[in-house]
């Protein structure tokens, strides 16, 4: 894996980092746990220095944007990690090497492995290299509250009934599901809908659609 730009002294750590739990008991879950903590710290430290005027909430939202599964999976794809993952037969057949959650977890486990193979300074350098373009494109304008929070605050400020989110349907296998959510608010005649790979994100999408409809009606959000 030349794209990670790191040469392991202990090759077994690299192998373990790329071994999914579908392969058996000896897998990358413990390394993933370690890497998750490390990447959160390194990104938090960089944001703290990068945005000295930012408030705690803004820094938290920027960090969440950087370390979320989608971003980590994008970094895994940048490094073609899917080509090197060790998966069980079931995951191989179902396309696990392309699954966002597996790719994201593999980045965290790789971070944990590099840390154990070297030290904090080395792993920090690599993390910041992998995230460099994304970090450079960040701004405090991206720290707006999420859609569910904005919708709730809008309704609360007008003493209106809070949104109701209803799970309409779930499709797919347990490891790769799609959630369909309906959002109902009293100020809109029709409900809005959200679709995503997690219930939480689907709720956010339905709230976002409601905000867009309110804005189209002239609401001051």
CATH number, domain with residue 186: 3.30.160.20
- Whether 191 shows a pLDDT value over 70: the answer reads yes
Query: What is the mean pLDDT of the segment spanning 93-108?
Result: 89
Beta bridge partners of 196: 179
- Mutual angle of helices 29-50 and 100-117, in 10-degree steps: 80
Average pLDDT on 190-210 reads 95
Residue 144 is predicted with a pLDDT of: 65
pLDDT-derived band at 220, boundaries 50, 70, 90 = confident
Alpha-carbon distance values, 52 to 106, 152, 155 (Å): 31, 30, 33
Coil, strand or helix at 14: helix
Work out how many domains the chain is built from and give that number. 2
Single out the catalytic residue among 32, 36, 203, 205: 36
Helix (H) or strand (E) holding 123: helix 120-136
Q: Are residues 78 and 45 in the same domain?
A: yes
Stated pTM of the model: 0.68
Q: Which residue among 142, 165, 187 closes a domain?
A: 142
Measured CA distances, 49 to 37, 63, 96 (Å): 19, 13, 37
pLDDT at 173 over 90: no
Which residue among 32, 105, 108, 117 is the active-site one?
A: 108
Q: Based on the domain organization, do 124 and 159 belong to the same domain?
A: no
Of the ranges 86-100, 128-142, 181-195, the best mean pLDDT one? 181-195
Pick 142 or 117 by higher pLDDT.
117
Are 28 and 92 part of one and the same domain? yes
Query: Distance between CA 44 and CA 42 in Å, rounded?
Result: 5
Q: Clarify whether residues 95 and 13 are in a common domain.
A: yes
Whether 108 sits among the annotated catalytic residues: the reply is yes
Residue 175 above 80 pLDDT?
Answer: no
CA dihedral 108, 114, 115, 116 (to 10 degrees): 110
């Amino acid at each position: 894996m030349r794209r990670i730009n790191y040469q392991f002294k202990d090759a077994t750590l690299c192998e373990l980092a790329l071994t999914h739990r579908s392969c058996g008991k000896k897998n990358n879950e413990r390394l993933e746990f370690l890497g998750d903590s490390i990447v959160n710290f390194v990104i938090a430290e960089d944001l703290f220095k990068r945005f000295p005027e930012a408030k705690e909430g803004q820094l938290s939202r920027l960090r969440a944007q950087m370390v979320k599964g989608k971003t980590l999976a994008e970094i895994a794809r940048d490094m073609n990690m899917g080509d090197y993952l060790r998966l069980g037969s079931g995951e191989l057949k179902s396309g696990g090497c392309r699954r966002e959650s597996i790719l994201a977890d593999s980045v965290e486990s790789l971070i944990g492995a590099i840390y154990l193979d070297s030290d904090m300074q080395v792993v920090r350098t690599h993390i910041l290299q992998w995230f460099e373009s994304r970090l450079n494109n960040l701004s405090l304008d991206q720290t707006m509250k999420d859609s569910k929070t904005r919708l709730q605050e809008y309704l609360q400020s007008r003493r209106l009934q809070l949104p109701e989110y209803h799970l309409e349907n779930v499709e797919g296998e347990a490891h790769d599901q799609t959630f369909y959510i309906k959002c109902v608010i009293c100020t809109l005649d029709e409900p809005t809908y959200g679709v995503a790979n997690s219930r939480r994100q689907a709720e956010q999408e339905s709230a976002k659609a409601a905000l867009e409809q309110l804005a189209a009606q002239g609401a001051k959000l």
